[in-house]
């Protein structure tokens, strides 16, 4: 069993989604993540991974691992904002890691 925590940035993005079905699917994937079923994910560098949700415009969730069993959700987006979202997630992770040292 894993612990999944969310940043305010991630929660803001999720709550702003107009597509309720998309939000439901994303939340379902997060529940699966807590159980150890990460599904379609890929490392994108600097300790960040991208979870792909195969629905709508191709939603993405960016997260980093903290310790052995805690995952912190940094940001979300879709295929059209992928480059910007990756830059933002890496910047957030770097800031968080600096603050916890």
What is the pLDDT, as a whole number, of residue 56? 93
Query: What are the C-alpha distances in Å from 59 to residues 28, 33, 94?
Result: 13, 16, 23
Query: For residue 18, what is the DSSP state?
Result: S
Considering the domain 3-94, what is its CATH architecture? 2-Layer Sandwich (3.30)
What is the pLDDT, as a whole number, of residue 101? 63
What is the pLDDT, as a whole number, of residue 71? 82
Identify the H or E element spanning 90.
helix 82-99
Strand 59-66 versus strand 48-53 pairing type: antiparallel
Q: Where are the domains of the chain?
A: 3-94
Tens digit of each residue's pLDDT (9 = 90 or more) over 66-95 = 877 778 888 899 999 999 999 999 999 988
């Amino acid at each position: 069993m894993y612990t999944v925590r969310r940043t305010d940035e991630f929660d803001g993005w999720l709550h702003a989604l107009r597509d309720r079905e998309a939000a439901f699917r994303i939340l379902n994937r997060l529940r699966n993540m807590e159980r150890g079923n990460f599904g379609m994910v890929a490392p994108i560098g600097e300790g960040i991974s991208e979870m792909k949700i195969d629905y709508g415009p191709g939603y993405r969730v960016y997260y980093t691992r903290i310790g052995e069993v805690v995952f912190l959700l940094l940001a979300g987006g879709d295929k059209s904002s992928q480059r910007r979202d990756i830059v933002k997630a890496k910047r957030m992770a770097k800031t968080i890691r600096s603050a916890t040292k």
